[in-house]
């Protein structure tokens, strides 16, 4: 086999792995956890000291490994409907066989337990519980419309709860940040159900759009977005530095997302609504660096 073909296959395998574990999301998660720790949970600790804190690094690494494994097992159970909803992505990710995906899933979880064990048995128990929740969601809960979206949003928040427990900081402002993020993630997750309607319907997933229809699903999404706006009235009165402008901007931006959502009538339009919220969440996580006290 020519060297160029070998290099091309190797590159595609790496790209497949990056897509499989949602490498972009993992990078964002790690950066967001460090920013949250330094600017919100433990502002008294110098950033250089935070980077040299091996126990904190172990929690970050365990979170990243567990979340990566979660994406793999979720992809494994969703492979049938992904063939319909995301055929190109399905082909790319299945350059790695499902058998190898399961081996990688187990390996990542085992490594997460190893790093968690460096800290304490309680940390090990936390991440084992997190792993079980992810598997239970992927295997069972995802097909239940009354729990799937709530469960998904909670799973996205749990890595931040891990570092909150590490620093033992339970100020009210932290819970308002978490509530804002939770409702945005919840809204985005239900929009994904609108976007993936065809595959979900074929494989009998009981999502909100399938059970109640698009109109009711849009009402629920609108309620989630409005609930995400409510914490901003508390947060904009807090000493958050330039991040206050982010929360001020949230009100008109999320209003625009609501209008776009109700106008949207097809998968491509729902994808735009989904991406608007995804980008806004990313901007919010990065704008944590603008906090000063």
Lowest pLDDT segment from 50-64, 89-103, 265-279: 89-103
In sign, the C-alpha dihedral spanning 14, 64, 60, 124 is negative
Q: What domains sit in the chain, N to C, each tagged with a CATH number?
A: 9-167 (1.10.357), 171-293 (1.20.120)
**pLDDT level of residue 248 (50, 70, 90 thresholds):** very high
pLDDT in tens, 146-163: 788 899 899 999 999 999
Instruction: Give residue-wise pLDDT tens across range 191-233.
Output: 998 988 888 787 778 888 888 889 999 999 999 999 999 999 8
CB atoms within 10 A of CB 250: 23
d(CA 118, CA 164): 18
In this prediction, residues 150-177 reach a mean pLDDT of 91
Separation of alpha carbons 241 and 260, rounded Å = 30
| Backbone φ/ψ region at 241: left (φ over 0), alpha (ψ -120 to 50), beta | left
Contact of 191 with 273, CB cutoff 8 Å: yes
Q: End-to-end CA distance of the chain, in Å?
A: 60
| Mean pLDDT estimate for the chain | 88
Tokens of 45: 């600790």
The pLDDT assigned to 128 comes to: 95
pLDDT at 3: 47
Contact 132, 164 (CB under 8 A): no
Q: How far is C-alpha 233 from the chain's CA centre?
A: 24
The CB-side HSE value for 155 (13 A sphere, CA atoms) comes to 27
Please state which of the ranges 82-91, 107-116, 169-178, 254-263 shows the lowest mean pLDDT: 82-91
Work out the number of other CB atoms within 10 angstroms of the CB of residue 256. 10
Structure-block tokens of residue 234: 């508390």
Residue linked to tokens 């706006």: 229
Q: Give the count of alpha carbons within 13 A of 51, CB side only.
A: 4
- For the entire predicted model, the pTM comes to 0.89
* Residue 6: pLDDT band with limits 50, 70, 90: low
């Amino acid at each position: 086999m020519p060297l160029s073909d070998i290099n091309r296959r190797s590159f595609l395998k790496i790209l497949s792995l990056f897509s499989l574990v949602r490498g972009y999301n993992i990078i964002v998660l790690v950066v967001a956890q460090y920013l949250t720790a330094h600017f919100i949970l433990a502002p008294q600790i110098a950033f250089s000291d935070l980077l040299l804190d091996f126990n904190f690094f172990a929690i970050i690494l365990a979170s990243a490994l567990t979340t990566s494994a979660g994406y793999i097992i979720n992809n494994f159970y969703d492979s049938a409907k992904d063939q319909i909803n995301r055929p190109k992505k399905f082909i790319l990710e299945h350059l790695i066989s499902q058998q190898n995906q399961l081996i990688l899933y187990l390996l990542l979880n085992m490594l997460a337990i190893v790093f968690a064990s460096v800290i304490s048995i309680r940390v090990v128990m936390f991440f084992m519980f997190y792993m079980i929740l992810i598997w239970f969601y992927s295997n069972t809960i995802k097909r239940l419309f009354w729990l799937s979206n709530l469960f998904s949003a909670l799973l996205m928040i749990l890595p931040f709860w891990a570092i909150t427990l590490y620093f033992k900081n339970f100020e009210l402002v932290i819970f308002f940040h978490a509530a804002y993020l939770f409702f945005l993630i919840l809204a985005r997750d239900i929009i994904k159900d609108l976007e993936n309607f065809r595959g979900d319907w074929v494989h009998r997933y009981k999502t909100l759009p399938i059970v109640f229809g698009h109109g009711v699903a849009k009402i629920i999404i609108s309620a989630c977005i409005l609930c995400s706006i409510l914490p901003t009235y508390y947060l904009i009165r807090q000493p958050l530095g330039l991040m206050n402008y982010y929360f001020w901007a949230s009100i008109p931006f999320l209003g625009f997302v609501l209008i776009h959502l109700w106008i949207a009538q097809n998968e491509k339009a729902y994808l735009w609504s989904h991406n608007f919220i995804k980008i806004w969440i990313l901007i919010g996580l990065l704008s944590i660096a603008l906090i000063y006290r």
